[in-house]
C-alpha cells in the first residue's frame, strides 16, 4: 500500500498539474539532470523491439506451463481462473506518441517485474518440482529487467524523462495457496494479452 | 514409654491440624462462575481459544477445579460439545483452553459457555456447580469480506486416511453451487441457506503440492477454492540399531520409511534420547545419527528414537551393552610374504577395539575354482599360512574380522591378490602323430596339445623332441620347438624310431611323452563301418584286443572338408572299448571319419577300426552333373561319373532317374511317380548302387520330347527336383536321308564352284556382252531349226536414212539456230556406239524432239542436247519411255517458244512414197540423197494433245502418235 500511495499520489498531482489531464506523462524539468549509469546502446529502439518480440514469443508458453503446473481446475477453467481480470494493471495506448508509449511501457514492465517476482517466489514453494516453469519465469524476469533498463535509457536520452511513477500489483504473500495460484494465473494471462499489443505498437 | 507418649502427642497434633485445615476449606465460600470469558478463533488450526478467570479466590488460595464447557453451533440450543476441564486454579490466574473444530469455524457461528466446580474427586459426593456463564459467540463470517463465495478451510493439513469437512459460504444466495475435488464433484449437505458442508472420508495422498478443491456457482465466473494438504502417515522407524567400530562413537541407523514432507509441513525430524545419561541429540540425517560414547565406562545404553512431524510423533526403543555391538573396521595392510610355488603367508593389521578384546578374523582363499576358509584369532596383527597351492596360479585372498568375545557383525572384507611361483610341468604333453612316406623316407608329423595351466606350472617356453632310432644305426636327434607351436614335421632317417616329447618352462622339464613309429605300415585294410551320430556325439565302440594294450586312441578330423583338417585325438584307457566323441565343431551334413588305434606296450599304435558317419544327415543339396550320350531315336545314355559320393551331406544309397514324356506311360523297369514340386507325373528309374553312375534310358519314341533328372537318394531324402534336362529323340529315317542328301549337296557345290571358276568362259560362250552373231551357236541353232534362210544383215548393206530439217523464213522471230539453218540438216541415227565417219548409208528422220541446234549436228551420235536438258538426257532418249517423257516436256516448252509452223522436223521415211501426203508441205528444194528412201513427214506430239488438226498450217502435216515402234523404224 505504501508503494501504491507513493506512486499514485504524485501521479494525481501530475495529472492535475500538467495541461491535458488524463495524460500519464510525468514531468521532468527540462534542465533536470538525467543521467544513466551506463551509456545507452546506439540502437535502443531496435533492442526494445527485439526484447518485446522475445517476450511476446514466449508469453503463451509461460502461460501454459503455469496453469498446467497448478493442476485441476486450472487447465479446464482458464476463463474463470486465469482471465485477464487484473484491475490495477497499468494502461497502454498504442496510438500515443512514442514518449507516451515508452512511459506506459515502463510502468507495465515495472508492474510485471514485481508480479513475476511474486509468482516465481510462490511457485518455488508451491511447485518445487516444476523446474521448467521456474526456468521460464526466471528467463522472462531477466528480459524484463533488460527491457526496463533500455526503456529508461531511451526516455532519459531522448525525452529527458528521469523518473516515472510506477505501481505494483498486490502482494500475494499473505494469500492462501489457491488464491496465490489464481492470482498468478490471472497475471500471466494478462501479461500474454498485453505484451502482444505492446510488441505490435513498437 | 516416653517414646510412645511422644508419638501419640504428634499423631493428635497432626490430626488436629488436618481437621483445622478441613474446616477452613469447607468454611471458605465456593468459587463463583468463570468471568471475563473471552473467545478467539484461530483459523489456521480451526481452533476456538478460550480464556477466563475465577474470582472469589483469596490471595493464597489454590483450588483444584473442574470447568464444564459447552459449545453450541448455529444456535445455543444445538450443543455439539461438552467437556470437563480440570486444573489447579490460583488467585488471579487467567485460564486457557482450546478446542479444535472439525467443521471450519468460518462455516457457522459457535456459542460457548462454562461453569465451574471444585474438584471433589478425592471426596465422595456430587459436585456443586456454579451457575453458567453467559453464552459467548464466535462468528467469523462477519469478517470474511465482500466476496460472494468462500471455501474453507484454507490450506488445511491432514494425515492420509483422515476425515475432513469442507464448506463453502455463499453471500449471493445462490443454491446451484457445485464443488469439486480434483475435478470430481462432491456431494454435500446444506448447513444453512448460505452454507454447505462436504464430508471427505479417508482422504488420500495425491501429490506433495496439495489437492485442489474448488467451488463454482452456476452463474458468474468466480471460482473459489482451497488446497488440502494430505500428508502421509508418519510411521515408526524400522530396523533401529546402534553399533560401534571403535568403542568411542555409536552409529545408530534406522529405516525412516516414507517422507511426510509437504509444502505445509517439513519432513519428519528425528531425535535420539539416552535414558541412563539423560542426553538427547537431534539427528541431522533422516536415517542415521552419531552418538558420542561417554568417556566414563558406561556399558548399558537405553536409546529412544523419536520421529516427529507437524501432526504426529513416533518412538522406538533400544537397550544394549556397548561391547556387544562392536562392528570392527575392515582389516588393512594385507600383505603376502614368502610366496613359493605351493605356499604363501598372508599378514594383515586390524584396528584395535581395546586391549581386553580379541578379534576373530576369517580368511578366504579363492583359486583353482574353489574357496577355502580359515578362522584366525587376532589381537593386533594377523597372519595365516596358505599351503598346498598350485604353482604359477593367481589367488585372491580376503580377510574380515569380528569381536571374538561377543560376536555382532563381521567387518567389511579386505582383498588382495597374489600369484605363486612357477614349477616344472607336472604332466607329459598329450602327443599324436601322422606318418607318411615321402620319396621312400618316413615323415612324421607330430601334434601335441598345450598343457593346461594346472599341468604347465608356468609359461611353456619350448618343446624338446628326442628321436631315438630303434635299430641303433643312427644317432639320436634332438629338436627344440619354441612355444606356442602345437606340432612339427620330422623327416626320419629310419622309420623305426621312438620319439620323446617334453615341455619346458623356465623352471624345468615335464615328463616325456613317448610315441613309437613302426617300420610296418598300419593295418590299413580295416573295413570302414558306418556310425550314426547323436546329439551327444558319435558313439564309437570296438572289440577288446586279445593282446596287451596300454590304451586306445581315437583320431578324427574336425574339419574334414577344409585342409588342414584339424586333427584331433582322444586317449582312452586299456579297459575301455567304447566312447562318445563330441565336439562343438561337428556340423550337420559333414562326414567325419574316425580311426581307432590300439597302443601296444611298446607304444606302437596299430589301427583297429575305421568308422565314418554324420552327426546329422542332410538331404543332398545338389544333383549330379549328368552327361547325355548315345542319343538315338529309341534311347540315350546318362552318365555322372564325376559325382563324388564321399563329399555328400549324407550317405548316398542310390539314384533316382525321373523321365517326363508326353506319352505319360512308363516301361517296365520304371514306375510312375508324381513330383511334389509341380505335381508332374513322370517315370522313375531306381539305381540301388551308389557307385553305378551310368544309365541307359530305353524304349523311347522317335521324334519325341523328353525331360530327365538324375537325383541321389539317401535315408533322409533325395536331391532337389530342380531343372530337368531336355532331349528330343531324332527321326528314325533321318540317318538314311542324311546319307543321300549329303552327297547330292556335295555334287551341287562342286558344280557351282566349277561354274564360278569358269565363269568367263561361260560368259563368252553363253551370254557375251556383245554377241557375235557369227560366233553364236544359238543363232546357228535357230537358223538351222526355224528359218534356214535367215541371214545376218551386213552393215554395209544398210542405207542410212536422212532427216531433213526445213526452216521457214517468213516468221519474224528466229532462234539462234535458225539463222544458220537455211539448208536441210541430216541426222544420222546409229544403232550402236560405233560411228561411221563416212556419210554413207544412214537412217535419218525429222524429230520434233530435237530443236534447231540439234539438227545442225552432222552426226546422229552427236546430237546436241537442248539447252535446259542435262547431258544425260540424251542417253535417256534411247529408251522409248524416256523419250516419250522428254517429248512431253520439250513439247510443252516448244509450244510457248516456237510458233507452230515456223519450224518443223520432218521425218523422211525411206518407205513412204514421195508423192503421198500433202503436197503443200513438200520442200522447195528437196535434197537428193542418192540412196535414201523418202519418209513421210511426221510430227510427234504428246498423247494428251493428240487431237485432229483444225488450222490450216498444221493441217498440211499428218499427225501420228509416236509409239515404241515408230522411234526406230
Q: CATH number of the domain at B431-614, out of 3.40.605.10, 2.60.200.20, 2.60.40.10, 3.20.20.70?
A: 2.60.40.10
Q: Could you tell me which residue, B279 or B932, shows the higher pLDDT?
A: B279
Q: State how far the Cα of B836 lies from the Cα of B828, in Å rounded to an integer.
A: 9
Residue B219 — pLDDT band, cuts 50, 70, 90? confident
Q: B119-123, B513-517, B951-955: which range is least confident on average? A: B951-955
Return the pLDDT at B72. Answer: 93
Q: State how far the Cα of B752 lies from the Cα of B745, in Å rounded to an integer.
A: 11
Domain B238-324 bears CATH identifier 2.60.40.3080: no
- Closest CA of chain B from A124, distance in Å: 10
Domain(s) of CATH 2.60.40.10: residues in chain B: 35-143, 149-231, 238-324, 332-419, 431-614, 626-734
Return the pLDDT at B221. Answer: 64
B182–A71 CB contact, under 8 Å = yes
Q: State how far the Cα of B504 lies from the Cα of B480, in Å rounded to an integer.
A: 10
Size of interface A-B (CB pairs under 8 A): 57
Q: State how far the Cα of B580 lies from the Cα of B536, in Å rounded to an integer.
A: 8
Alpha-carbon Rg for chain B, nearest whole angstrom, is 72
A77–B223 CB contact, under 8 Å = yes
Evaluate if residue B298 carries a pLDDT over 50. Answer: yes
Cell, residue A125: 514453494
Q: Is B53 left (phi over 0), alpha (psi -120 to 50) or beta?
A: beta
**DSSP structure class, residue B857:** -
For B863-905, write each residue's pLDDT tens digit.
Answer: 443 444 333 333 333 444 444 444 444 444 433 344 443 344 4
Return the pLDDT at B785. Answer: 57
Tell me the average pLDDT across B325-336.
Answer: 92
Minimal Cα distance from B227: which residue of A? A178
Residue B933 — pLDDT band, cuts 50, 70, 90? very low
Residues of chain A contacting B182 with CB distance shorter than 8 Å: 71-72
Query: What are chain A's domains?
Result: 43-201 (1.20.1250.10)
For B626-662, write each residue's pLDDT tens digit.
Answer: 999 988 888 899 999 888 888 899 999 999 999 988 8
Residue B124 — pLDDT band, cuts 50, 70, 90? low
Residues of chain A contacting B155 with CB distance shorter than 8 Å: 176-177
CA atoms within 13 A on the CB side of B794: 2
Return the pLDDT at B146. Answer: 78
| Architecture of the domain delimited by B35-143 | Sandwich (2.60)
Evaluate if residue B374 carries a pLDDT over 90. Answer: yes
Q: Could you tell me which residue, B203 or B174, shows the higher pLDDT?
A: B203
Return the pLDDT at B282. Answer: 93
Return the pLDDT at B763. Answer: 77
Residue B120 — pLDDT band, cuts 50, 70, 90? confident
B210–A177 CB contact, under 8 Å = yes
CA distances from B266 to A126, B263, B272 (A): 13, 7, 19
Phi, psi of B114 (to 5 degrees): -155, 165
Minimal Cα distance from B179: which residue of A? A73
Residue B803 — pLDDT band, cuts 50, 70, 90? low
Minimal Cα distance from A79: which residue of B? B221
Residue B54 — pLDDT band, cuts 50, 70, 90? confident
Cβ burial, residue B919 (10 Å; 0-12/13-18/19+): exposed
For B16-34, write each residue's pLDDT tens digit.
Answer: 444 444 434 444 445 567 7
Give the β-pairing of B605-614 and B528-532.
parallel
Tell me the average pLDDT across B478-497.
Answer: 89
Return the pLDDT at B786. Answer: 55
B212–A81 CB contact, under 8 Å = no
Residues of chain A contacting B149 with CB distance shorter than 8 Å: none
Determine contact, residues B306/B254, Cβ cutoff 8 Å.
no
Tell me the average pLDDT across A7-14.
Answer: 37
Residue A195 — pLDDT band, cuts 50, 70, 90? very high
Q: What percent of chain B has pLDDT over 70?
A: 73
Q: B196-210, B248-262, B944-958: which range is least confident on average? A: B944-958
Residues of chain B contacting A125 with CB distance shorter than 8 Å: 263
Interface probe for A, chosen from B214, B230, B259 (most Cβ of A below 10 Å), is: B214
Return the pLDDT at B787. Answer: 58
From the list B154, B208, B214, which residue is nearest A73 (CB)?
A: B214
Residue B545 — pLDDT band, cuts 50, 70, 90? confident
Average pLDDT, chain B: 77
| Architecture of the domain delimited by B149-231 | Sandwich (2.60)
Q: State how far the Cα of B635 lies from the Cα of B696, in Å rounded to an integer.
A: 7
| SS3 readout for B880-922 | HHHHHHHHHHHHHHHHHHCCECCEEEECCCCECCCCCCCHHHC
- Closest CA of chain B from A144, distance in Å: 29
Evaluate if residue B558 carries a pLDDT over 50. Answer: yes
Residue B42 — pLDDT band, cuts 50, 70, 90? confident
Q: State how far the Cα of B126 lies from the Cα of B33, in Å rounded to an integer.
A: 17
Residues of chain A contacting B151 with CB distance shorter than 8 Å: 178
Q: How long a stretch of residues is chain A?
A: 202
Count the neighbouring beta carbons within 10 Å of the beta carbon of residue B46. Answer: 21
Interface pTM, i.e. ipTM? 0.75
Q: A117-121, B261-265, B764-768, B819-823: which range is least confident on average? A: B819-823
Phi, psi of B851 (to 5 degrees): -90, -170
Evaluate if residue B812 carries a pLDDT over 70. Answer: no
From the list B155, B221, B222, which residue is nearest A177 (CB)?
A: B155
For A81-122, write each residue's pLDDT tens digit.
Answer: 888 888 889 999 999 999 999 999 999 999 999 999 999 999
Return the pLDDT at B606. Answer: 86
Evaluate if residue B82 carries a pLDDT over 80. Answer: yes
From the list A80, A128, A129, which residue is nearest B216 (CB)?
A: A80
B221–A83 CB contact, under 8 Å = yes
A178–B222 CB contact, under 8 Å = no
Evaluate if residue B147 carries a pLDDT over 90. Answer: no
A176–B210 CB contact, under 8 Å = no
CA dihedral of residues A107, A108, A114, A118 (deg, nearest 10):
160
B225–A178 CB contact, under 8 Å = yes
Evaluate if residue B331 carries a pLDDT over 90. Answer: yes
Q: Could you tell me which residue, B670 or A109, shows the higher pLDDT?
A: A109
Between positions 106 and 165 of A, the ones with CB within 8 A of B are 125-129
Tell me the average pLDDT across B191-211.
Answer: 88
Residue B139: is the preceding peptide bond cis (ω within 30°)? Answer: no
Tell me the average pLDDT across B738-760.
Answer: 88
Q: B590-594, B782-786, B827-831: which range is least confident on average? A: B827-831
A80–B222 CB contact, under 8 Å = yes
CA distances from A112 to A126, A140, A180 (A): 20, 10, 16
Q: Could you tell me which residue, B386 or B562, shows the higher pLDDT?
A: B386
Tell me the average pLDDT across B922-936.
Answer: 41
Return the pLDDT at B447. Answer: 92
Tell me the average pLDDT across B838-845.
Answer: 42
For B586-609, write each residue's pLDDT tens digit.
Answer: 989 999 999 999 988 888 888 889
Evaluate if residue B815 carries a pLDDT over 50. Answer: no
Return the pLDDT at B805. Answer: 61
Evaluate if residue B847 carries a pLDDT over 60. Answer: no
Q: B262-266, B477-481, B803-807, B900-904: which range is least confident on average? A: B900-904
Q: A165-169, B546-550, B783-787, B948-952: which range is least confident on average? A: B948-952
Minimal Cα distance from A76: which residue of B? B183
B221 touches chain A (CB under 8 A): yes
Return the pLDDT at B784. Answer: 57
Highest mean pLDDT among A30-34, B524-528, B747-751: B747-751
From the list B183, B221, B227, which residue is nearest A178 (CB)?
A: B227
Tell me the average pLDDT across B708-723.
Answer: 89
Tell me the average pLDDT across B404-433.
Answer: 92
Would you give the distance in Å from CA A177 to the centre of its chain? 23
Dihedral sign from CA coordinates of B121, B127, B131, B133: positive
B226–A81 CB contact, under 8 Å = no
Residue B500 — pLDDT band, cuts 50, 70, 90? very high
Nearest to B790 by CA among B778, B800, B798: B778
Interface probe for A, chosen from B209, B220, B267 (most Cβ of A below 10 Å), is: B209
Q: A40-49, A120-129, B158-167, B778-787: which range is least confident on average? A: B778-787
Q: Could you tell me which residue, B250 or B810, shows the higher pLDDT?
A: B250
Residues of chain A contacting B223 with CB distance shorter than 8 Å: 73, 77, 80-81, 182
Return the pLDDT at A114. Answer: 93
From the list B154, B214, B221, which residue is nearest A176 (CB)?
A: B154
Residue B795 — pLDDT band, cuts 50, 70, 90? low
Tell me the average pLDDT across B136-154.
Answer: 84
B226–A70 CB contact, under 8 Å = no
Residue B800 — pLDDT band, cuts 50, 70, 90? low
Residue B127 — pLDDT band, cuts 50, 70, 90? confident
Fold classified for B332-419? Immunoglobulin-like (2.60.40)
Return the pLDDT at A147. Answer: 93
Determine contact, residues B674/B646, Cβ cutoff 8 Å.
no
- Closest CA of chain B from A113, distance in Å: 25
| Architecture of the domain delimited by B626-734 | Sandwich (2.60)
Evaluate if residue B47 carries a pLDDT over 60. Answer: yes
Amino acid at each position: 500500500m505504501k508503494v501504491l500511495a507513493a506512486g499514485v499520489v504524485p501521479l494525481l498531482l501530475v495529472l492535475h498539474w500538467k495541461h491535458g489531464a488524463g495524460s500519464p506523462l510525468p514531468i521532468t524539468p527540462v534542465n533536470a539532470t538525467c543521467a544513466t549509469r551506463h551509456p545507452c546502446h546506439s540502437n535502443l529502439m531496435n533492442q526494445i523491439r527485439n526484447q518485446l518480440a522475445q517476450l511476446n514469443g514466449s508469453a503463451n508458453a509461460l502461460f501454459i506451463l503455469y496453469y498446467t503446473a497448478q493442476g485441476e481446475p486450472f487447465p479446464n477453467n482458464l476463463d474463470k481462473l486465469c482471465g485477464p481480470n487484473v484491475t490495477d494493471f497499468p494502461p497502454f495506448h498504442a496510438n500515443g506518441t512514442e514518449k507516451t508509449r515508452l512511459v506506459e511501457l515502463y510502468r507495465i514492465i515495472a508492474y510485471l517485474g514485481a508480479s513475476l517476482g511474486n509468482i516465481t517466489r510462490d511457485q518455488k514453494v508451491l511447485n518445487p518440482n516444476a523446474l521448467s516453469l521456474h526456468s521460464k519465469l526466471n528467463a522472462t524476469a531477466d528480459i524484463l529487467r533488460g527491457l526496463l533498463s533500455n526503456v529508461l535509457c531511451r526516455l532519459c536520452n531522448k525525452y529527458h524523462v528521469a523518473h516515472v511513477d510506477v505501481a505494483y500489483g498486490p502482494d500475494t504473500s499473505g494469500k492462501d495457496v489457491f488464491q496465490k495460484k489464481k492470482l498468478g494465473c490471472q497475471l500471466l494471462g494478462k501479461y500474454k494479452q498485453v505484451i502482444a499489443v505492446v510488441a505490435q505498437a513498437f | 514409654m516416653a517414646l510412645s507418649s511422644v508419638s501419640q502427642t504428634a499423631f493428635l497434633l497432626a490430626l488436629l491440624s488436618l481437621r483445622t485445615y478441613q474446616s477452613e476449606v469447607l468454611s471458605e465460600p465456593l468459587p463463583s462462575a468463570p468471568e471475563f470469558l473471552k473467545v478467539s478463533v484461530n483459523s489456521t488450526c480451526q481452533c476456538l481459544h478460550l480464556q477466563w478467570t475465577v474470582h472469589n479466590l483469596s490471595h493464597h488460595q489454590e483450588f483444584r477445579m473442574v470447568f464444564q464447557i459447552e459449545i453450541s453451533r448455529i444456535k445455543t440450543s444445538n450443543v455439539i460439545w461438552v467437556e470437563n476441564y480440570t486444573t489447579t486454579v490460583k488467585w488471579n490466574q487467567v485460564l486457557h483452553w482450546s478446542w479444535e473444530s472439525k467443521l471450519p469455524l468460518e462455516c457457522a457461528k459457535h456459542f460457548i459457555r462454562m461453569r465451574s466446580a471444585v474438584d471433589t474427586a478425592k471426596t465422595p459426593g456430587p459436585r456443586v456447580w456454579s451457575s453458567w456463564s453467559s453464552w459467548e459467540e464466535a462468528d467469523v463470517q462477519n469478517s470474511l469480506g465482500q466476496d460472494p463465495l468462500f471455501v474453507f478451510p484454507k490450506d488445511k493439513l491432514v494425515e492420509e486416511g483422515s476425515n475432513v469437512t469442507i464448506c463453502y459460504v455463499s453471500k449471493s444466495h445462490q443454491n446451484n453451487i457445485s464443488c469439486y475435488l480434483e475435478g470430481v464433484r462432491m456431494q454435500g449437505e446444506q448447513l444453512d441457506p448460505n452454507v454447505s458442508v462436504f464430508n471427505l472420508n479417508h482422504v488420500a495422498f495425491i501429490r506433495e503440492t496439495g489437492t485442489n478443491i474448488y467451488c463454482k456457482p452456476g452463474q458468474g465466473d468466480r471460482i473459489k477454492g482451497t488446497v488440502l494438504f494430505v500428508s502421509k502417515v508418519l510411521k515408526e522407524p524400522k530396523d533401529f540399531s546402534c553399533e560401534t567400530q571403535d568403542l568411542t562413537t555409536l552409529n545408530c541407523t534406522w529405516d525412516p520409511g516414507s517422507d511426510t514432507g509437504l509444502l505445509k509441513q517439513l519432513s519428519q525430524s528425528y531425535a535420539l534420547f539416552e535414558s541412563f545419561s539423560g542426553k538427547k541429540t537431534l539427528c541431522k540425517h533422516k536415517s542415521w545419527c552419531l552418538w558420542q560414547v561417554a568417556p566414563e565406562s558406561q556399558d548399558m545404553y537405553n536409546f529412544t528414537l523419536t520421529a516427529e512431524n507437524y501432526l504426529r510423533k513416533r518412538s522406538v526403543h533400544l537397550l544394549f551393552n556397548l561391547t556387544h555391538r562392536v562392528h570392527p573396521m575392515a582389516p588393512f595392510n594385507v600383505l603376502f610374504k614368502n610366496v613359493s610355488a605351493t605356499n604363501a603367508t598372508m599378514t594383515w593389521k586390524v584396528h584395535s577395539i581395546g586391549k581386553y578384546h580379541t578379534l576373530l578374523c576369517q580368511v578366504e582363499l579363492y583359486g583353482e575354482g574353489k574357496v577355502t576358509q580359515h578362522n584366525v584369532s587376532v589381537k593386533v596383527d594377523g597372519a595365516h599360512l596358505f599351503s598346498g597351492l598350485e604353482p604359477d596360479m593367481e589367488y585372491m585372498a580376503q580377510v574380515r574380522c569380528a569381536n571374538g568375545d561377543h560376536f555382532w557383525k563381521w567387518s567389511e572384507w579386505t582383498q588382495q591378490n597374489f600369484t605363486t611361483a612357477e614349477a616344472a610341468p607336472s604332466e607329459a604333453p598329450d602327443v599324436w602323430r601322422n606318418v607318411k612316406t615321402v620319396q621312400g623316407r618316413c615323415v612324421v608329423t607330430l601334434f601335441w596339445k598345450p598343457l593346461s595351466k594346472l599341468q604347465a606350472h608356468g609359461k611353456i617356453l619350448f618343446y624338446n623332441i628326442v628321436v631315438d632310432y630303434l635299430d641303433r644305426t643312427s644317432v639320436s636327434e634332438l629338436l627344440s620347438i619354441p612355444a606356442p607351436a602345437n606340432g612339427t614335421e620330422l623327416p626320419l632317417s629310419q622309420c623305426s624310431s621312438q620319439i620323446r616329447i617334453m615341455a619346458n618352462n623356465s623352471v624345468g622339464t615335464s615328463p616325456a611323452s613317448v610315441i613309437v613309429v613302426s617300420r610296418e605300415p598300419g593295418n590299413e585294410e580295416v573295413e570302414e563301418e558306418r556310425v550314426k551320430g547323436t546329439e551327444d556325439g558319435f558313439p564309437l565302440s570296438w572289440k577288446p584286443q586279445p593282446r596287451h594294450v596300454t590304451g586306445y586312441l581315437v583320431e578324427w578330423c574336425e574339419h574334414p572338408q577344409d585342409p588342414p583338417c584339424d586333427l584331433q585325438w582322444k586317449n582312452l584307457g586299456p579297459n575301455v572299448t567304447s566312447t562318445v566323441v563330441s565336439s562343438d565343431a561337428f556340423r550337420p551334413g559333414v562326414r567325419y571319419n574316425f580311426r581307432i588305434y590300439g597302443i601296444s606296450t611298446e607304444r606302437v599304435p596299430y589301427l583297429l577300426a575305421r568308422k565314418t558317419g554324420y552327426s546329422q544327415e542332410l538331404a543332398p543339396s545338389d544333383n549330379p552333373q549328368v552327361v547325355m550320350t548315345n542319343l538315338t531315336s529309341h534311347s540315350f545314355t546318362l552318365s555322372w561319373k564325376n559325382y563324388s559320393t564321399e563329399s555328400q551331406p549324407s550317405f548316398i544309397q542310390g539314384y533316382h532317374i525321373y523321365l517326363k514324356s508326353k506319352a505319360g506311360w512308363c516301361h517296365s523297369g520304371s514306375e510312375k511317380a508324381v513330383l511334389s514340386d509341380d505335381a508332374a507325373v513322370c517315370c522313375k528309374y531306381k539305381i540301388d548302387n551308389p557307385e553305378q553312375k551310368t544309365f541307359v534310358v530305353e524304349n523311347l519314341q522317335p521324334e519325341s520330347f523328353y525331360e530327365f533328372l538324375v537325383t541321389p537318394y539317401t535315408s533322409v531324402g533325395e536331391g532337389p527336383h530342380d531343372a530337368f534336362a531336355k532331349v528330343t529323340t531324332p527321326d528314325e529315317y533321318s540317318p538314311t536321308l542324311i546319307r543321300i542328301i549329303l552327297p547330292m549337296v556335295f555334287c551341287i557345290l562342286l558344280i557351282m564352284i566349277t561354274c564360278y571358276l569358269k565363269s568367263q568362259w561361260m560368259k563368252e560362250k553363253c551370254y557375251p556382252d556383245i554377241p557375235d552373231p557369227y560366233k553364236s551357236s544359238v543363232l546357228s541353232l535357230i537358223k538351222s531349226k526355224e528359218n534356214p534362210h535367215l541371214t545376218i544383215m551386213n552393215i554395209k548393206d544398210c542405207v542410212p536414212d536422212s532427216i531433213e530439217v526445213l526452216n521457214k523464213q517468213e516468221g519474224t522471230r528466229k532462234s539462234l539456230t535458225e539463222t544458220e539453218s537455211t539448208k536441210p540438216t541430216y541426222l544420222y541415227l546409229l544403232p550402236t556406239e560405233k560411228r561411221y565417219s563416212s556419210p554413207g548409208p544412214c537412217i535419218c528422220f525429222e524429230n520434233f524432239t530435237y530443236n534447231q541446234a540439234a539438227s545442225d549436228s552432222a552426226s546422229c551420235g552427236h546430237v546436241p542436247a537442248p539447252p535446259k536438258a542435262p547431258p544425260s538426257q540424251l542417253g535417256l532418249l534411247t529408251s522409248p519411255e524416256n523419250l516419250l517423257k522428254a517429248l512431253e516436256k520439250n513439247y510443252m516448252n516448244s509450244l510457248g517458244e516456237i510458233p507452230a509452223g515456223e519450224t518443223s522436223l520432218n521425218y523422211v521415211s525411206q518407205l513412204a512414197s514421195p508423192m503421198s501426203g500433202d503436197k503443200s508441205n513438200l520442200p522447195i528444194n528437196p535434197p537428193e540423197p542418192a540412196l535414201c528412201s523418202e519418209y513421210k513427214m511426221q510430227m510427234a506430239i504428246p498423247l494428251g494433245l493428240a487431237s485432229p488438226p483444225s488450222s490450216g498450217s498444221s493441217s498440211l502435216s499428218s499427225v501420228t502418235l509416236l509409239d515404241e515402234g515408230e522411234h526406230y523404224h
